Structure 1
Amino acid sequence: MIEVIKKIVEDEIKKMHIAELGVVTSIFPHSSESDGDNYECNVRLKYRDLELRRVPVATQHIGLANIPNVGDLVLVTFLNGDVNAPIVIGRLYTDEDRPPVNKEEEIVYIPPYSKSSSLRRIYLEFPGGIIFSITDDEVSIKAGRTILKIDRNGDISIESNAKVNVKANQDISLSANNISIESRGKLEIKSGATAKLEASGTLDIKGALVNIN
């Protein structure tokens, strides 16, 4: 009797699917507001002649999205051992797709992608309206009516329809080949101590009325 029960248990265990390796064949990330995709992918099991369709992909946090790529090696688990209830729970490196060089206590992100200006590589949007975005061409931060951009050549631009204040309790130094300051209204420069205006070449002071006191 015990042997019969043991055999039944063994047969039932064989029917259960705990975890499998698979290769992603198609992805359905939810790339448009109008689509019905819900962060899923098709996976071909590595050691079985079986392709699983529309497998949900687990996420580390609701609101975070980073869908696997076609060709990625993934780990698939099955709810209650049911092959009809798979979930992708992680990705794995292979001998061909190795991790970037990294050390203990480092967080390194070097994606193996080709350049594409249309993709947001990293995009963060917070409830207060602050947006942080990285593309292959620029880094941008938007807060309210102000946008800071740094392009891939290192050029920096700040555009604002709000107030901009620069304040330091120590020194501020500006150095460049040429510096231009233009005001559409009032321009005021004031010193609480001494002030010096000097030019190695010609110094022009022009105005409808110039007062020197």
Structure 2
Amino acid sequence: MDSMVEVIRKIVESEIRKLHIAELGVVTSIFPHSSDSDKDNYECNVKLKYNDLELRKVPVATQHIGLANIPNVGDLVLVTFVNGDINAPIVIGRLYTDEDRPPVNKEEEIVYTLTKGSGLRMDFPGGMVLSVTADDASVEAGATTLKLSRDGDVTIESSAKINVEAAGDMSFNAANVKIESKGNMEIKAGATAKVEATGTLNIKGAMVNIN
């Protein structure tokens, strides 16, 4: 009887060892859905850390449908297996290491540090797009674009109207100011108006009316 129990115990232990619950692995290749024409579906190749086995085209779990943030090559990831089957792996998370430390953060603080060459893009229904890279940030709303460059340039482009309004005072201060209209231009003051130059003031037109 004892020998039968021992045999059963060994069989159970052997079967349990065949089950894969979770493993650490290192990403060796990535397959993001980078183009509408590709067949990739947010996957990566992972080499398991504690045995000489590379898993191919492992699906990557996401926190939200519509969110994409594929792991980088070299990232340490946690892989789990559906029903313990090594042929059904899923990457469920990434881990920091002694080499890849987390950004400095405090309690109740959310910090997202972009790596070199990476970017953040948010697409909203209706065509609104917010994009941030290491060099610039832009907001696109249909045919209107606001772009902020790291070198300090600010660009606003629109195929429609641009309105700037302020309930209080408004001032423009720059080394040089140039205003050009391809059509008509109107400058109007509800009270006093003053045009002054410390140098030459030129007024030129096909006809100049002063009233």
> What is the TM-score when the length of structure 1 is the normalising length?
0.88
Tell me the alpha carbon deviations over residues 31-72 of structure 1, each in whole angstroms, 9 at most, x when there is no partner.
Answer: 222221111111111122322111100011112111111111
Secondary structure (helix, strand or coil) at the match of 2:155 reads strand
Which one-letter code corresponds to 2:201 in the other structure?
L
In structure 2, distance between residues paired with 1:174 and 1:140 = 23
**Among 28, 31, 56, the residue aligned to 2:59:** 56
1:150 to partner: Cα distance: 1.7
Tell me the alpha carbon deviations over residues 107-155 of structure 1, each in whole angstroms, 9 at most, x when there is no partner.
Answer: 2222343x4xxxx611222220112222333222211211112222111
Identity in percent: 71
1:37 paired to 2:35 = no
1:212 paired to 2:210 = yes
In structure 2, distance between residues paired with 1:49 and 1:185 = 71
Task: Give the corresponding residue for 2:114.
Answer: 111
Which one-letter code corresponds to 1:138 in the other structure?
D
Q: How does 1:137-152 map to 2 (within 5 A)?
A: 137-152=135-150
In structure 1, distance between residues paired with 2:145 and 2:66 = 24
Secondary structure (helix, strand or coil) at the match of 1:53 reads strand
RMSD over aligned Cα atoms:
2.1
Task: Give the corresponding residue for 2:161.
Answer: 163
Task: Give the corresponding residue for 1:194.
Answer: 192
In structure 2, distance between residues paired with 1:159 and 1:168 = 20
1:9 to partner: Cα distance: 4.7
Secondary structure (helix, strand or coil) at the match of 1:80 reads helix
Q: How does 1:83-122 map to 2 (within 5 A)?
A: 83-113=86-116, 115=117, 121-122=119-120
In structure 1, distance between residues paired with 2:187 and 2:83 = 73
Tell me the alpha carbon deviations over residues 172-207 of structure 1, each in whole angstroms, 9 at most, x when there is no partner.
Answer: 111001111111111111122222222112222222
Tell me the alpha carbon deviations over residues 85-125 of structure 1, each in whole angstroms, 9 at most, x when there is no partner.
Answer: 11000000000111122222322222343x4xxxx611222
Secondary structure (helix, strand or coil) at the match of 1:13 reads helix
My pick for the range that moved more, 89-98 or 23-32, is 23-32
